[in-house]
């Protein structure tokens, strides 16, 4: 508070909203927070099928819209004739790429988008030349050419097939190393090179050359991650209607406020004229947030234009194949060089990553965040290829996790050491050892606990590490399969970019409502917010309610991404609750006839005098009688008791930019059985130990841990997008051909999280949504190595690669 004194009201709000590093003394009794068995607020609607998703929305008179997609990996429209489509009964409008409303218009504007997201500047992040309806496609499946509104989805789709196009086919390349060759054709319209400019291309700290010279040993190896994608449950859609010059939308967006900013800017109308409604969202893991993908702003633009033309509500729909563009941003070919001493201490790490389409994180980041390694170097080269724009999806740290796991486990393997010993020898941050971290914790009021050691101890017990760990390729089971066991670790996600606002309002009957627009993509976000407000004010959980999408109020909770959903929103509602509580106690002080609200407190929904707790009144009695109400009933509403707050958990970039080390760690253990005859890898047991700092909803935490594990195992063993090398056409663009894990595809998952209070979030919490799914795929590598005694550093680890590593076949399926 003292920092905000003397500031103007806006500056004060901003100052109060900033996160300041440090643990805080907890002045709260946890009644609801951390309680097991709290019935989740979204449960009834979801289990009964009453939950409405964007796909379910329907307005009388609405038309259906579909957009044309390129059948070629790289091609230009020479001539497009739409006459036959126009004449099909039921077709109401066709929007062409050369229509004046849209010709030459970029997918997104540039005012609200951050610098890197601006189409013309976004060399490294996006496909820069990106029109809403282009006449040249640089990947098969790109929305382009025309969009059609019709009486039904089927008619719109049929009309698309009646458009006659003369194409000029252009050369395409699928492999990033091929695309970098000097004689490779340029793939992206207007580009000078297939290498995408990235200001972060080179990273180096210390002196890696010296680090290799002083090392006892140096190893080199190559790894590869092939394309995969998030493929969320609900296919994208949007429903829009114009009411004169006002626009109303039902969006399928994780970040509805950003959707509103983008569409208002594109249409050049005030945000105040746009109402964005959100309903439930079939999971999206961040994948829906790609501004280069039409499922973010593009389909909204097309739907609003078609609605304007027809004067009718428009529902634009993507089908399942339409969702198969937007790969996860970790498609990389990686070269590693690692120097280390015979005791397991790593002296230098050098990584060269060549990314396809786009990179999320360079790949060295987690060595900076998590280790005491002094000499680090990374060269990251993103390259255009003829596949859709990639994006981060649970999450951008995939490459960094893969690097950390492979480097530490390769070192352990080279030394014949237990990988846990190697981890503990290198734990630290920014080149400092754990002594530095201990000092940091003391200086910043954090608990004096060693997160990694605690995670490891819990995990070792749960998996039986001491009894089961063995040297690679040395344990054959009675069923003839090879047993593998592996360990990896990392920091627990403590992403810091979250920002948002919300209000806590005490209604005239004393019940409490959280006001703030927020979408749900699955992690049970609202129950914990109500738990926090309940404990912060001192009322039962049942008194607190949230209406996250009733109205587009302008209060916007942090969107569910970046592992900072609860970390940010918990702080927002906590601050708002404090303000509302203060107003309530000021009102109560009048009723109790005491000099100061400081003399009062609230427990179990009852306000009492601290000096005489027997002197008490229920919250309801104070609020409902705020004004002297006529005996026959409430003729007027009470002055609202409302507190609102804005909170900024930090800027993006984590440790490097905010200079705040991550203190929470996580450790993961996996057992596999590998069939030496078929190459099949079966994950038989996983133990996740995440230090979540503080679990507000224990079941919510566990849900993210086992859910992420299922996704991680799926990514590590079966998920891969495959394009036809002859045509550049995606071969497995459906959920029949692109497999992901079912209930049968992963063995038991243990989720013994720990709570050290070392997170930067409220009550010392850290994030949990992304960490597990991002690390588990990497753990497949050392697990299979431990089973068969050979590295398969090519992900996903499919049976053909295992058989090749075992020397049983000469070639993999795509060689």
Partner 1 sequence: MLNMATDSYLCPYCSVRLETFNSLKAHVRAEHSAEPLPLPEGIIQLTINKHAYQLYVEPEWMLYYVIHDQLGLTGTKMFCDRGACGSCTVIIDGRPVLSCMTLAIECNGKTIETIEGISADHHPLIDAYIKHHALQCGYCTPGFIVTAKALLDHNANPTEDEIKQALAGNLCRCGTYPQHPKAVLEAAHVLQEGR
Say how far apart CA 782 and CA 789 lie, in whole Å.
10
For residue 391, state whether it binds partner 1 (rule: CB under 8 A).
no
For residue 240, state whether it binds partner 1 (rule: CB under 8 A).
no
Say how far apart CA 195 and CA 179 lie, in whole Å.
8
Tell me how far, at minimum, the Cβ of 254 lies from partner 1, in Å: 11
Tell me how far, at minimum, the Cβ of 703 lies from partner 1, in Å: 5
- The three-state DSSP-derived secondary structure of 344-395 is CCEEEEEEEEEEECCCCCCCCHHHHHHECCCEEEEEEEEECCCCCCCECCCC
For residue 748, state whether it binds partner 1 (rule: CB under 8 A).
yes
Question: CB-based contacts of 335: which residues, under 8 Å, 6+ apart?
Answer: 220, 221, 222, 351, 352
Say how far apart CA 322 and CA 561 lie, in whole Å.
23
For residue 282, state whether it binds partner 1 (rule: CB under 8 A).
yes
Q: How many CB atoms lie within 10 A of CB 492?
A: 30
For residue 49, state whether it binds partner 1 (rule: CB under 8 A).
yes
Q: How many CB atoms lie within 10 A of CB 115?
A: 9
Of residues 55 and 425, the one with the C-beta less far from partner 1: 55
- Span of 37-45, 67-75, 454-462, 510-518 interacting with partner 1 by CB under 8 A: 37-45
Tell me how far, at minimum, the Cβ of 283 lies from partner 1, in Å: 4
CA-closest candidate to residue 395, choices 262, 492, 528: 492
For residue 55, state whether it binds partner 1 (rule: CB under 8 A).
yes
According to CB under 8 A, which one of 233, 627, 634, 651 is a site residue for partner 1? 233
For residue 42, state whether it binds partner 1 (rule: CB under 8 A).
yes
Write the DSSP symbol of residue 298.
Answer: I
Of residues 658 and 734, the one with the C-beta less far from partner 1: 734
Tell me how far, at minimum, the Cβ of 517 lies from partner 1, in Å: 18
The interface with partner 1 within residues 174-213 (CB under 8 A) comprises: none
| Backbone torsions φ then ψ of 90, nearest 5 degrees | 100, -10
Q: How many residues bind partner 1 (CB under 8 A)?
A: 59
According to CB under 8 A, which one of 165, 734, 809, 812 is a site residue for partner 1? 734
Of residues 532 and 749, the one with the C-beta less far from partner 1: 749
According to CB under 8 A, which one of 94, 146, 160, 235 is a site residue for partner 1? 235
Q: What is the distance of C-alpha 560 from the center of its chain?
A: 7
Q: Are 65 and 319 in contact (CB under 8 A)?
A: no
Residue 82 is encoded by which pair of tokens? 């739409």
Q: How many CB atoms lie within 10 A of CB 83?
A: 10
According to CB under 8 A, which one of 232, 313, 388, 757 is a site residue for partner 1? 232
According to CB under 8 A, which one of 82, 176, 194, 281 is a site residue for partner 1? 281
Tell me how far, at minimum, the Cβ of 699 lies from partner 1, in Å: 5
Of residues 41 and 359, the one with the C-beta less far from partner 1: 41
According to CB under 8 A, which one of 711, 768, 778, 806 is a site residue for partner 1? 711
For residue 749, state whether it binds partner 1 (rule: CB under 8 A).
yes
Question: CB-based contacts of 2: which residues, under 8 Å, 6+ apart?
Answer: none
Tell me how far, at minimum, the Cβ of 522 lies from partner 1, in Å: 3
Of residues 345 and 734, the one with the C-beta less far from partner 1: 734
Of residues 53 and 112, the one with the C-beta less far from partner 1: 53
C-alpha separations of 414 from 342, 419, 424, 459, 606 in Å? 9, 11, 17, 24, 64
Tell me how far, at minimum, the Cβ of 169 lies from partner 1, in Å: 28
Of residues 48 and 810, the one with the C-beta less far from partner 1: 48
According to CB under 8 A, which one of 159, 521, 532, 765 is a site residue for partner 1? 521
Tell me how far, at minimum, the Cβ of 281 lies from partner 1, in Å: 7
Of residues 740 and 763, the one with the C-beta less far from partner 1: 740
For residue 58, state whether it binds partner 1 (rule: CB under 8 A).
yes
CA-closest candidate to residue 314, choices 538, 63, 624: 63
- Span of 404-412, 590-598, 657-665, 741-749 interacting with partner 1 by CB under 8 A: 741-749
Say how far apart CA 459 and CA 451 lie, in whole Å.
12
According to CB under 8 A, which one of 344, 700, 764, 781 is a site residue for partner 1? 700
- Span of 254-262, 493-501, 742-750, 780-788 interacting with partner 1 by CB under 8 A: 742-750
The interface with partner 1 within residues 153-172 (CB under 8 A) comprises: 154
Say how far apart CA 289 and CA 295 lie, in whole Å.
8
Q: Are 212 and 347 in contact (CB under 8 A)?
A: yes
According to CB under 8 A, which one of 128, 708, 728, 762 is a site residue for partner 1? 708
| DSSP one-letter string for 488-500 | EEEEPP-----EE
For residue 35, state whether it binds partner 1 (rule: CB under 8 A).
no
Q: Is 420 exposed, middle or buried (0-12, 13-18, 19+ CB in 10 A)?
A: buried
For residue 571, state whether it binds partner 1 (rule: CB under 8 A).
no
Of residues 97 and 738, the one with the C-beta less far from partner 1: 738
Q: Which contacts qualify for 462-471: CB closer than 8 Å, 24 or more apart?
A: 462/669, 462/687, 462/689, 462/750, 462/752, 463/669, 463/671, 463/685, 463/687, 463/750, 465/420, 465/669, 468/671, 469/418, 470/786, 471/416
- Span of 332-340, 575-583, 705-713, 803-811 interacting with partner 1 by CB under 8 A: 705-713
Of residues 257 and 324, the one with the C-beta less far from partner 1: 324
Q: Are 579 and 644 in contact (CB under 8 A)?
A: yes
For residue 631, state whether it binds partner 1 (rule: CB under 8 A).
no
For residue 54, state whether it binds partner 1 (rule: CB under 8 A).
no
Q: Which residues make beta-bridge pairs with 692?
A: none
Q: How many CB atoms lie within 10 A of CB 80?
A: 17
For residue 588, state whether it binds partner 1 (rule: CB under 8 A).
no
According to CB under 8 A, which one of 520, 719, 770, 794 is a site residue for partner 1? 520
CA-closest candidate to residue 426, choices 350, 374, 371, 375: 371
- Span of 230-238, 299-307, 621-629, 718-726 interacting with partner 1 by CB under 8 A: 230-238
Of residues 451 and 527, the one with the C-beta less far from partner 1: 527
Q: Integer distance in angstroms from the first to the last C-alpha of the chain?
A: 64
Residue 687 is encoded by which pair of tokens? 């133990």
For residue 43, state whether it binds partner 1 (rule: CB under 8 A).
yes
Positions in the binding site for partner 1 (CB under 8 A): 37, 39-40, 42-53, 55-56, 58, 154, 230-235, 280-283, 319-321, 520-524, 699-700, 702-703, 706-711, 734-736, 740-744, 746, 748-749, 773
């Amino acid at each position: 508070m003292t920092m905000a004194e003397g500031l103007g009201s806006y500056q004060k709000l901003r100052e109060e909203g900033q996160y300041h590093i440090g643990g805080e003394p907890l002045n709260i009794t946890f009644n609801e927070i951390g309680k097991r068995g709290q019935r989740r607020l979204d449960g009834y609607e979801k289990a009964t099928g009453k939950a409405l998703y964007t796909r379910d929305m329907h307005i009388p008179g609405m038309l259906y819209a579909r957009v044309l997609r390129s059948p070629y990996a790289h091609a230009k429209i020479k001539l497009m004739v739409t006459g036959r489509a126009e004449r099909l009964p039921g077709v109401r409008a066709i929007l062409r790429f050369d229509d004046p409303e849209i010709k030459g218009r970029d997918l997104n504007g540039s005012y609200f988008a951050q610098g890197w997201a601006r189409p013309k500047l976004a060399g490294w992040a996006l496909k820069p030349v990106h029109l809403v309806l282009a006449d040249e496609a640089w990947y098969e499946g790109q929305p382009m050419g025309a969009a059609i509104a019709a009486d039904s989805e089927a008619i719109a789709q049929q009309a698309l097939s009646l458009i006659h196009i003369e194409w000029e086919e252009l050369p395409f390349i699928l492999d990033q190393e091929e695309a970098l060759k000097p004689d490779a054709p340029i793939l992206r319209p207007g580009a000078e090179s297939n290498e995408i400019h990235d200001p972060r291309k080179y990273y180096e700290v210390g002196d890696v050359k010296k680090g290799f010279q002083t090392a006892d040993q140096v190893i080199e190896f190559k790894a590869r991650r092939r394309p995969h994608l998030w493929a969320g449950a609900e296919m994208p859609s949007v429903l829009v209607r114009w009411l004169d010059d006002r626009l109303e939308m039902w969006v399928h967006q994780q970040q509805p406020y950003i959707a509103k900013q983008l569409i208002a800017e594109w249409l050049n109308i005030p945000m105040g004229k746009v109402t964005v409604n959100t309903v439930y969202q079939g999971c999206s893991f961040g994948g829906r947030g790609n501004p280069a993908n039409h499922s973010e702003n593009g389909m909204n633009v097309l739907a609003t234009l078609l609605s304007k033309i027809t004067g009718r509500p428009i529902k634009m729909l993507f089908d399942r194949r339409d969702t198969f563009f937007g790969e996860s941003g970790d498609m990389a070919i990686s070269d590693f060089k690692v120097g280390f001493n015979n005791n397991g201490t790593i002296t230098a790490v050098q990584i060269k990553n060549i990314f396809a389409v786009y990179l999320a994180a360079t790949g060295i980041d987690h060595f900076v965040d998590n280790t005491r390694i002094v000499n680090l170097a990374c060269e990251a080269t993103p390259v255009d290829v003829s596949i859709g724009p990639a994006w981060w999806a649970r999450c951008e740290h995939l490459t960094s996790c893969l690097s950390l796991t492979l480097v530490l486990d390769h070192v352990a393997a080279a030394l014949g050491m237990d990988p846990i010993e190697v981890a503990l020898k290198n734990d630290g941050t920014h080149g400092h050892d754990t002594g530095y971290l201990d000092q940091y914790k003391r200086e910043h009021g954090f608990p004096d606990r060693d997160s990694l050691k605690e995670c490891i101890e819990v995990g070792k017990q749960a998996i039986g590490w001491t009894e089961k760990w063995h040297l690679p390729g040395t344990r054959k089971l009675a069923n003839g399969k090879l047993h593998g066991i592996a360990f990896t670790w990392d920091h627990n996600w403590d992403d810091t970019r979250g920002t948002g606002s919300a209000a806590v309002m005490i209604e005239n009957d004393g019940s409490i409502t959280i006001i703030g627009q927020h979408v749900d993509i699955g992690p049970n976000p609202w129950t914990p917010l109500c738990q926090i407000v309940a404990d912060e004010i001192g009322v039962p959980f049942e008194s607190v309610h949230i209406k996250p999408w009733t109205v587009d109020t302008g209060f916007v909770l942090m969107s569910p991404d970046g592992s900072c959903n609860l970390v940010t929103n918990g702080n927002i509602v906590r601050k708002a609750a404090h303000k509302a509580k203060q107003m309530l106690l000021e009102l109560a002080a009048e009723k109790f006839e005491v000099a100061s609200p400081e003399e009062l407190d609230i427990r179990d929904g009852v306000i009492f005098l601290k000096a005489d707790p027997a002197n008490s009144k229920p919250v309801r009695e104070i609020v409902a009688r705020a004004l002297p109400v006529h005996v026959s009933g409430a003729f007027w509403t009470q002055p609202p008791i409302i507190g609102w707050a804005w909170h900024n958990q930090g800027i993006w970039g984590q440790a490097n930019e905010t200079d705040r080390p991550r203190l929470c760690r996580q450790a993961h253990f996996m057992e596999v059985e590998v069939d030496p005859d078929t190459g099949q890898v079966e994950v038989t047991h996983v133990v996740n130990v995440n230090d979540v700092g503080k679990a507000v909803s224990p079941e919510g935490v566990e849900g993210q841990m086992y859910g992420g594990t299922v996704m991680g195992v799926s990514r590590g063993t079966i998920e891969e997008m495959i394009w036809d090398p002859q045509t550049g056409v995606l071969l497995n663009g459906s959920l029949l051909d692109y497999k992901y894990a079912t209930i049968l595809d992963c063995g038991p998952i243990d989720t013994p999280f720990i709570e050290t209070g070392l997170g930067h979030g409220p009550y010392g919490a850290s994030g949990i949504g992304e960490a597990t799914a991002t690390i588990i795929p990497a753990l497949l590598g050392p697990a299979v190595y431990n089973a068969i005694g050979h590295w398969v550093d090519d992900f996903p680890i499919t049976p053909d690669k295992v058989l090749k590593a075992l020397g049983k076949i000469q070639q993999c399926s795509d060689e």
